[in-house]
Structure 1
Amino acid sequence: MSIFQKLFKQTFIYGLATVLPRALAIVLVPLYTEVLEPSQFGIYATLMSYIILGNVLLSYGMETAFFRFINKHPEEKKNVQSTALTSILISSVSFFIIAYLSRESIANFINFDTRYIVYTLLILMLDALVIIPFVWYRANDKPLKYAFIKILNVCINLSCNLFLFLVLPTLATENSNTVWDAIYLSESKVLYVFIANVIASAATLLLVFPLYFKIGLGFHKKIWREMLKYAFPVLIAGIAFSINEAFDKILLTYLLPEDIAESEVGVYAACYKLGVFMTLFATAFRLGIEPFFFNHAKEKNAKETYALITKYFTILGCVIFLSVMVYMDFFKELLIRNEAYWVALSIVPFILLANLCLGIYHNLSVWYKVTDRTKYGAYISVLGAIITLVVNFALIPIISYKGAAIATLAAYATMMFASYFLGQKYYKIPYDVKKILGYLLTAIVFSGISFYIFERNLLIGTALLLVFLFAVFLLEKGEIKNMINK
């Protein structure tokens, strides 16, 4: 099996583990937007933003360090694994205990009901405790187990949501003064989202818990210090990334007038979900590509391979970007049935393009990962975070959530270009820049024509999409045949 075939096989399986669960989770978007008011959806979106930041802090770069050290020091593989597992276990449980004891203060500080805080803390701890087991599956080429558990997690989450939102109200109405009536929440229905997440996360931990015995607990101070040193820039980059990814919802909450803030966050977060198709693709690709980058760093033609992969990632990303833009009306009715949320559709082009830039950035980031220059990843992400904060603070008070969308695109585009230019200095990879930029610009122009000039006319949009696909076929058919025949 060629390296490309192996890569695409792993990417497909990891993609399935990401896309199928998220596809099932997409069912929840029309459910939430139909049952919850925009203000309640805004509460959900804001708290999930805090969870994104919390996940980064509780993993503190140990996932990337795990991959690097088991490849860099294969003779110490067992000690690396047990040290990483023990470190995450101790830090996660300690965090939960301390935060739980301070739950009232946290609730007052961020102005949310204490119940939300408790469930959020539980989700954070449970998710942190499965980090190393999932990394172990990826590092040991067990994508099927990884995929099965990931898919089961979301199936449980989905089932709990459907029961709590659709079945429980009927049971409580028909059976008053019963246990169903006692657990039914007539006003704070958004709490069900977090209850379902806790149940799914707890089930996932039970499924991966046997790996705690297989890997074993152990702590080797020297290895731990080296891993932390490597992981610290990754942590800084992760914090910066979480600012880029999630702080727009938090800042909207605090920068807009109190009487409209939660509703504005709600419609913004709902339409933001239309960028899920690009996010799914980029995430699935990253999960498959990261181990590949490390495993093939010493190959003679590694740089040429990285360049080819980045080009084809860009092509596929452009197709997804253009397809969503052309068929926007179909996707909005599929995912967001409540027309009250459609007022924020103008952000979708910015979010889709931003996520495409982010995906390209992850492909370009190979240079600092395989050369142990992770500090540059931190610098680039901090630059993105600064742009996110500056643009959000400047534009949100003026144009509300449109400013947040523009900030997201500005941050990820800057990170993409910064990574490219720095990478060419320290680890020069022969990217086909002319073709990559050509595909990007063509997709942007075609989507702009379809979305803004012809106002999402299906015939015009479909024709533009077909022209793009035909151009790709003509330009790449020879190279694709060579890859398949290798």
Structure 2
Amino acid sequence: MNPLRQLISQTAIYGLSSILGRFLNYLLVPLYTYTFNASEYGVVSEFYAYAGFFAVVLVFGQETGFFRFRQKPEYTDEAVYGNGLSFLLLVNLLFVGTVFYWQQPLADALRYPNHPEYLLWFACILALDAVTALPFARLRAENKAWRFAGIRMAEIFITIGLNLFFLVLCPKGLALWPDSALAEIYNPNVGVGYIFLSNLLASICKLVLLLPEFRAVPVQLKLSILGPMARYSLPMVVIGFAGMVNEMLDRAILKIMLPYDLATNLKMLGIYGACYKLSILMSLFVQAFRYAGEPFFFSYAGRADAKHAYALVMQYFVIAGMFIFLLVTLYIDLFKYFIGAEFRAGLAVVPILLLANLCLGIYVNLSVWYKLSDRTGLGAWVSVAGAVLTLALNVWWIPLWGYVGSAWATLACYAFMVCVSWLLGRRYYPVDYPLGKIGCYIALGLTLYFTNNLLLTGFHWNSWLSGTLGLLLYVAVVGLFEIRPLLKRR
């Protein structure tokens, strides 16, 4: 199969599993925002923000290290995989044991003294996700996209089923039959903890489904393999951690930085976290592309036309990303019903966050320069600089503009990282990206977005008519300048 077609097809498979599965999971957002108030949902947003940081650290960059070192002739695939997996098992067992021992002091520090179990459940979730990251990476490397997608989908369906069981069936059943067995299973005081418990049980099921990837893998910790892998992968931890700072720091510190009382701050955090979910389509697109793109970049690097292929991938990525931006923003009157009425006060951040995630995807494309030139340390400095900028802008803008300041800080950070990464890429791994075309499509999307706002507010057009015309115009331009020439050449 043509490598570009393979990239597109595998992105579609990963995207189908991610988009369909996460979209089904996304349908839980209305359940959460209609079941819990903004303050309670703020707890969920805060914990998942912390989870992002630990998820990076606990994987130790082993995914990218595995992709790189399995290509080296001096190492075997089994040795690289076995050592990486053994290392992850050891580290994550130590992590869960530490949290188990200190769970009450940690709960007190986070101001959840009545729910130390939240921390233990989350530690187990993080450890299970970290340990299964390498088996998933191996499936990607072996082009087993359908097995990867099937296990991901199973995890999503189990999560959804358990959420519906704990948050819908159990409360209603207990109200009808207070003396039934449900009283032994369901405790209303756990509250949002049932969201975490559902995630934990689904992660256990995921581990069971991946057990074939663990069989016949001997426990081995050879410094001759782990040493070089660590030197390559540890900068990826810095990159990933800095990336989590850029992506999650706002939700982690809003509770502290907002100038209100704790209840109001949690309410604002809940509103922002729910509106962040409305940018999920762009996040899923970036995630699906990353799943398929990383092994593609490494496997295609040796070809003479590799740089030309990377340039085309970037161009088509931006075209698709701007389509998603317009789809959500032009039909925001539909998407807003996925969150409760109390949460819709924050809809102004949705376009900003969509653009921020688009910039993140562009940065993922650009990151090929440090991965293929083995300059992961320099790539780490780019991410660290972005993280410092994110922290500074959040500290500056949150007291001034609240969570809107956080959204702008996220966009500013990713735009900065795109610029710096492009400049460094020109020196260490130059790729002639079609900047003119990319800029035109971004400008076209933004023009259609602002024109739609003008038609709605200034001329009182019907939102469905205006949005549909804008989206069709964008598709027509793409068809005229991209699809039509391809068809003529064929």
Are 1:59 and 1:128, in contact at CA under 8 Å, matched by a contact in 2? yes
Matches within 5 A, 1:23-422: 23-73=23-73, 75-112=75-112, 113-256=115-258, 257=260, 258-333=262-337, 335-336=338-339, 338-422=340-424
Tell me if the contact between 2:69 and 2:75 (Cα under 8 Å) persists in the aligned partners. no
Contact (CA 8 Å) 1:171, 1:181: kept in 2 or not? no
For structure 1, list consecutive stretches of 5 or more residues without a partner in the other structure. Answer: none
Whether contact under 8 Å (2:232, 2:376) holds in the other structure is yes
C-alpha distance in 2 between matches for 1:409 and 1:182: 47
Q: Provide the rounded CA distance (Å) in 2 between the counterparts of 1:210 and 1:5.
A: 29
String of CA shifts for 1:400-437, please: whole Å, max 9, x gaps: 11011011111111111111111111111011000001
Per-residue deviation, 1:208:
0.7
**Residues 362 and 452 from structure 1, CA distance in 2 versus in 1: closer, same or farther, beyond 3 angstroms?**
farther
Is the Cα contact below 8 Å between 2:15 and 2:288 reproduced in 1? yes
Query: Is this contact kept in 1: 2:59–2:131, CA < 8 A?
Result: no
Find the partner of 1:458 among 455, 459, 464: 464
- Normalising to structure 2: TM-score of the pair? 0.95
- State whether residues 275 and 344 of structure 2, in contact with CA within 8 Å, keep that contact through their aligned partners in structure 1: yes
How far apart are 1:59 and its partner, in Å? Answer: 0.4
Change in Cα spacing, 1:116 to 1:477, as seen in structure 2 (3 Å) is: same
1:74 is displaced (CA, Å) by 6.5
Counterpart selection for 1:439 from 441, 460, 466: 441
Match in the other structure for 1:468: 474
Q: Kindly tell me: are residues 415 and 452 of structure 1, through their superposed partners in 2, closer, same or farther at Cα, counting changes over 3 Å? A: farther
CA shift, 1:72, in A, is 2.3
Once residues 202 and 300 of structure 1 are traced to their aligned partners in structure 2, the CA distance between those partners, rounded to angstroms, is 44
- Which residue in 2 is equivalent to 1:2? 2
Give the partner amino acid of 2:65. Answer: A
Q: CA deviation at 1:381?
A: 1.1
Q: Which amino acid aligns with 1:270?
A: A
CA change 1:85–1:452 in 2 (3 A) is: farther
Counterpart-to-counterpart distance in 2, 1:43 and 1:376: 36
Is this contact kept in 1: 2:99–2:119, CA < 8 A?
no
SS in 2 for 1:287: helix
TM-score for both structures, normalised by structure 1: 0.96
CA distance in 2, matches of 1:454, 1:171: 46
Q: Distance in 1 between matches of 2:152 and 2:74?
A: 27
Task: Tell me how far apart the structure 1 counterparts of residues 130 and 208 of structure 2 sit (CA, whole Å).
Answer: 13
Structure 2, gaps ≥5 residues long: none
1:99 partner letter: V
The amino acid across from 1:153 in the alignment is E
Bigger CA drift: 68-77 or 151-160? 68-77
Q: Relative to structure 1, is the Cα distance of residues 465 and 21 closer, same or farther in structure 2, using a 3 angstrom cutoff?
A: same
Q: Deviations for 1:39-72, whole angstroms, at most 9, x for unmatched residues?
A: 0110000001111111011001111101000012
Q: CA deviation at 1:291?
A: 0.4
Code of the aligned partner of 1:205: L
Task: Indicate if the aligned counterparts of 1:325 and 1:450 stay in contact, CA closer than 8 A.
Answer: no
